[in-house]
């Protein structure tokens, strides 16, 4: 049995930010991450962030992840990599397996924590169509990992399904890696991501087929072609509207959903928010869930961007330290107020207002009980 003040599950931007803020309040913090590398989604992101300087504008995602990890270590946070949490009991005891990737028989531990921060991120949505199990059909996250982490080109000719930010960014990174992106298609009739990302693909000559979805993948040992079909306002295929592209890769960027298995295991009450990706744990403004002492942050608390994840992590870290009886209440209140203010600023404007409204509804759902 290992005892800590705060256990943080997930070493992405939310988890590392939570660990740093809790440690600065005097907490003994342990971060548990199932992957061999820290950083979460940031390890895939070679592009520079934009926005405000305090949220990493001009810094490449991979560098931001490295910076957060080093800051956590320098403040005295302990980090277990290649460690998976497979059980949560009484909102205070974690069952952890370490070394699953390196050894056939992993070491197992019980970790007792006064408070827990769940920063488990999100998983990719899929889209099923005829031939979708063929080699060459993959999620955008898998393609991004292959290109930016493993330095392997998924294919030479690619069709992107989905025009949100993930699809646009991965499409451009496929071009940078030497692939030919033949088209980006989306059942929606407008591009879902930021114009700055879409413009990069447009300038490179990539066509957008809006109002279309993939209807079939062709091939035997792997993908050899993709068929796309136009859909009407009710998402029904329109007859005689099929187009075919010769490709060896179909990259699905159909959005993300909160990875909530551990939150459910802990007994957190869930609420549905389509805007934030699906079922998320209800939580208060300090990111504490319906289970006292269990905090949530990042994509688990609603799929947004890394900057929001870091601020939510800061809030969760402060709250978890306070719940553990640490820190000076006045200082924690002031730091939490500043983080909330920065979050509101991040959620302003055309792309942010609806997310702020969705977050308000989640907080209200918890207060209603």
Task: Convert the pLDDT of each residue in 282-294 to its tens digit.
Answer: 999 999 999 999 9
Q: Are residues 131 and 248 in the same domain?
A: yes
Rounded Cα gap, residues 139 and 134, in angstroms: 13
Structural domain ending residue among the three candidates 215, 236, 252: 252
Q: Are residues 204 and 218 in the same domain?
A: yes
Write down the mean pLDDT value for the chain. 93
Rounded Cα gap, residues 16 and 19, in angstroms: 5
Best-predicted range by mean pLDDT among 54-68, 149-163, 346-360? 149-163
Task: State how far the alpha carbon of 170 is from the alpha carbons of 73, 124, 211, 226, 279, in Å.
Answer: 31, 14, 20, 18, 25
Please provide the DSSP assignment of 95-112 as one string: EEEE-TTT-SS-EEEEEE
Q: Are residues 111 and 214 in the same domain?
A: no
Q: Are residues 262 and 114 in the same domain?
A: yes
pTM of the predicted model as reported, rounded to 2 decimal places: 0.92
Q: Are residues 244 and 319 in the same domain?
A: no
36: CB partners within 8 A, 6+ apart = 81, 82, 101
Average pLDDT over residues 246-269: 96
CA-wise closest residue to 12 among 101, 53, 58, 72: 72
- Confidence bin at 62 (pLDDT 50/70/90): confident
Structural domain ending residue among the three candidates 201, 235, 252: 252
Sheet bearing 243-245, strands edge to edge? 212-219, 223-230, 243-245
pLDDT tens by residue, 171-203: 999 999 999 999 999 999 999 998 999 999 999
Beta partners for residue 252, in sequence order: 139, 161
Whether residue 319 contacts residue 339, with contact meaning beta carbons closer than 8 Å, is answered with no
pLDDT for 50 equals 62
Q: Are residues 278 and 248 in the same domain?
A: no
Q: Are residues 89 and 136 in the same domain?
A: no
Where in the sequence is the domain holding 23, given as residue range(s)? 2-123+256-368
350: pLDDT strictly greater than 90? no
Rounded Cα gap, residues 369 and 269, in angstroms: 9
CA 336 to chain centroid: 23
Q: Are residues 267 and 347 in the same domain?
A: yes
Rounded Cα gap, residues 179 and 216, in angstroms: 21
Q: Are residues 244 and 131 in the same domain?
A: yes
Q: Which residue has the tokens 């070491």?
A: 107
pLDDT for 368 equals 80
148: pLDDT strictly greater than 70? yes
CATH number at residue 90: 3.50.50.60
Sheet bearing 208-210, strands edge to edge? 137-139, 249-252, 157-161, 180-186, 208-210
Average pLDDT over residues 107-119: 96
- Confidence bin at 92 (pLDDT 50/70/90): very high
Average pLDDT over residues 89-100: 93
CA-wise closest residue to 345 among 46, 55, 82: 55
236: CB partners within 8 A, 6+ apart = none
Q: Are residues 119 and 261 in the same domain?
A: yes
């Amino acid at each position: 049995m290992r005892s800590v003040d705060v256990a943080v599950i997930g070493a992405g931007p939310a988890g590392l930010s939570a660990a740093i803020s809790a440690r600065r309040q005097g907490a003994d913090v342990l971060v548990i991450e199932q992957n061999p590398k820290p950083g979460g989604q940031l390890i895939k992101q070679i592009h520079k962030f934009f926005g405000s300087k305090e949220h990493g504008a001009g810094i490449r995602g991979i560098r931001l992840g490295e910076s957060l990890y080093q800051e956590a270590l320098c403040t005295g946070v302990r980090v277990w990599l290649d460690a998976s949490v497979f059980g949560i009991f009484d909102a205070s005891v974690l069952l952890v397996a370490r070394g699953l990737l390196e050894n056939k028989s992993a070491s197992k531990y019980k970790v007792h924590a006064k408070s827990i921060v769940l920063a488990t991120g999100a998983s990719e949505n899929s889209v099923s169509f005829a031939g979708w199990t063929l080699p060459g059909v993959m999620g955008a996250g898998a393609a991004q990992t292959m290109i930016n982490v493993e330095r392997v080109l998924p294919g030479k000719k690619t069709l992107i399904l989905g025009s949100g930010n993930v699809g646009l960014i991965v499409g451009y990174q496929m071009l940078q890696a030497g692939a030919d992106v033949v088209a980006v298609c989306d059942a929606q009739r407008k591009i879902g991501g930021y114009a700055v990302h879409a413009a990069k693909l447009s300038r490179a000559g990539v066509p957008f087929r809006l109002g279309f979805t993939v209807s079939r993948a062709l091939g035997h040992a792997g993908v050899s072609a993709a068929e796309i079909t136009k859909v009407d306002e009710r998402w029904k295929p329109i007859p005689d509207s099929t187009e075919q592209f010769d490709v060896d890769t179909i990259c699905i960027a159909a959005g993300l959903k909160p990875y909530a298995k551990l939150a459910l295991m802990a007994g957190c009450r869930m609420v549905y928010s389509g805007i934030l990706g699906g079922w998320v744990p209800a939580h208060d403004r300090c990111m504490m869930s319906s289970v006292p002492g269990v905090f949530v942050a990042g994509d688990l608390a609603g799929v947004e961007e890394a900057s929001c994840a870091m601020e939510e992590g800061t809030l969760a870290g402060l709250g978890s330290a306070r719940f553990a009886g640490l820190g000076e209440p006045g200082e924690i209140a002031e730091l939490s107020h500043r983080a909330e203010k920065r979050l509101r600023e991040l959620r302003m404007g055309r792309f942010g207002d609806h997310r702020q409204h969705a977050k308000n509804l989640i907080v209200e759902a918890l207060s209603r009980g």
